Structure 1
């Protein structure tokens, strides 16, 4: 199975998980780059507002072609109960190039179910597996108990 991990990360939490997944699967990794500035409190507020309103952004073109992979694993932070705007944009723009998908999200509090549901709707795909990791699990380095079954299950899909 040829897999690609694609992710967006504003603070680095989702990046850390994406790197762990790619390392465990020994697969390619690609970051989604947004053209809008999202740092600081203003970026945080704008990001949550745009996610809540179902807005899109302009992302840089990917270096890797998702259509050439059996599985694309997509990672996002949860913003206002939705996937990050750059991930929503990726799912809209690359929808027809996705063969099979798996999703993971990182979050501080709640909203993972609605974010994962929105990702499925945007991609038009039912994920082969999903994973939710809370910020506290990343900071305390206790997310391995979720990472290992996720990786095992995506390999076996």
Structure 2
């Protein structure tokens, strides 16, 4: 089974989760970048209000072809209890996604808020079959919750074997 992790990450937390999935399962990785080019301050000043409004960022790449992949893992940080504008645009940029299985992943220092629900709605609107959703928490030191990470890896492995 061919697996692709598609994600947005500004601070590196979501990136580290996707790297671990890739190491454990052989999944390919595609990092989506927001053309706004946030810094630490502008991420909060400009990015958070855009996330609250549910806007879509201009992203690179602006089209993502899923033909040839069986499972897609979509990842986003949690900004103000929502997916990032780049993650919203990422899901809209998917091509040939009808009927594809998707796992949704969000990362944060707190709770997921509405992030996974909104990502699921967007993925289903694109015709994807959502097979599960996961939240991986990070501590203030940057350590991720190992139990949540293990459950995510187990789910990906189980879907890959099916």
TM-score interval w.r.t. the shorter chain? Answer: 0.7 to 0.9
Corresponding residue pairs, total:
156
Correspondence 1:150 to 2:155? yes
**RMSD value, Cα:** 2.3
2:7 corresponds to: 7
Provide Cα deviations, 1:92-130, integer angstroms capped at 9, x if missing partner.
Answer: 2216535111111101112x2511110111111342122
Kindly indicate which of the two structures has a greater share of residues assigned to helix: 1
Counterpart CA distance in 1 for 2:62 and 2:19 is 17
Counterpart CA distance in 2 for 1:26 and 1:73 is 13
Counterpart CA distance in 2 for 1:32 and 1:4 is 13
Q: Secondary structure at the residue paired with 1:69? A: coil
For normalisation by structure 2, the TM-score amounts to 0.84
Change (3 A) 1:68 1:138: farther
For normalisation by structure 1, the TM-score amounts to 0.87
Kindly indicate which of the two structures has a greater share of residues assigned to strand: 2
Counterpart CA distance in 2 for 1:66 and 1:79 is 26
Structure 1 unmatched ranges of 5 or more: none
Tell me the CA shift for residue 64 of structure 1.
Answer: 6.1
Counterpart CA distance in 2 for 1:93 and 1:145 is 29
Give 4+ residue runs of structure 1 displaced > 6 Å after superposition: none
